[in-house]
Amino acid sequence: MTQARPLMRGWFHALTAGVFTALIALDAHTLSPGPVTWFAVVTFVVPYWASVTLHCVPWRRRTAHDLALALDFAGISTGFVGQSIGWVGDGTWRGVREGSSTTLIFAAWCARVNVALAVSLVWLLICAMYRRSQQPVMLYCRNVRFAIVGANMLLLGCVETALCLDWRLNAVLQLLGRVFVPWYFLRCVAVDAGGRGWLPLWDGVWSAHENWHCAILVLHCLQLHAVSTYHDGESAFVTFLEVVGGSGVLKT
């Protein structure tokens, strides 16, 4: 048996994933250059659909549920990694251009370390699946998993701080993404959390988990705005509005 789920568990993920998948698919060229499209995909498509797979599918077998849980954990980590790469662009792999700023070089190295951490987490999750008969996947090396994801989060914060063009926006990103979101998770969402927080709850329908994902969605929207402004000089949400209004045009 799987854990009992509130009525809205997973539907929030499905709505978000569906809307952004449609927007990107309908007019992806308006998100050029490439790093912005990449950022949108690894932020709003891959991890959200992974969560949909975990929360909306009525898994009957423990093995299938454990696999979906492992993929959800991996999706969280690779989301942080993908966002780091989205900021840096192909400099993550090819190295930054000669004469690049120190901040860009620093951000590129943070992105590379983030990739290595994600690979280590994937290996840990493979071990968790192999040993699931001895210990639940949810609890296998839990502190190590939290440490890896925490490091992913902090390294993304370093990349954002190095490259974000607006210090005020970056301050909001760090307070929301590096303080409130992890604090609320540990306080109200984690399997052994004891707090309820001050955000609205509706027993059997809407839990702290859904509140947490609402905060993450706000964070993700601010991040997409920041990275698109950095790469393109214009917020991606301007181009999204053009898509919705039928006026999306190819950028040159």
User: pLDDT category, 159, cuts 50, 70, 90?
Assistant: very high
Tell me the HSE value of 72 on the side-chain side, using a 13 A CA sphere: 18
Highest-confidence segment of 5-9, 26-30, 119-123, 211-215:
119-123
CA distances from 147 to 5, 81, 106, 115, 154 (A): 26, 15, 22, 15, 10
Greater confidence, 124 or 201? Answer: 124
Query: Which pLDDT tens digit goes with each residue over 55-96?
Result: 777 777 788 878 888 888 888 898 999 999 999 987 666 666
Segment among 118-122, 162-166, 172-176, 199-203 with least mean pLDDT? 199-203
User: pLDDT category, 250, cuts 50, 70, 90?
Assistant: very low
- Domain boundaries defined on the chain: 11-237
Greater confidence, 122 or 209? Answer: 122
**pLDDT > 90? residue 223:** yes
Percentage of the chain lying above the pLDDT 70 cut: 87
Query: Which pLDDT tens digit goes with each residue over 1-55?
Result: 445 677 777 788 888 889 888 887 776 555 555 788 889 889 988 888 888 877 7
**pLDDT > 50? residue 248:** no
CB 71 within 8 A of CB 115: no
Greater confidence, 121 or 208? Answer: 121
Tell me the three-class secondary structure of the chain, residue by residue. CCCCCCCCCCHHHHHHHHHHHHHHHHHHHHHCCHHHHHHHHHHHHHHHHHHHHHHHCCCCCHHHHHHHHHHHHHHHHHHHHHHHHHHHCCHHHHCCCCCCCHHHHHHHHHHHHHHHHHHHHHHHHHHHHHCCCCCCCCCCCHHHHHHHHHHHHHHHHHHHHHHCCCHHHHHHHHHHHHHHHHHHHHHHHCCCCCCCCCCCCECCCECHHHHHHHHHHHHHHHHHHHHHHHHHCCCHHHHHHHHHCCCCCCCC
Q: What are phi and psi of 202, to 5 degrees?
A: -140, 105
Name the average pLDDT for the chain. 84
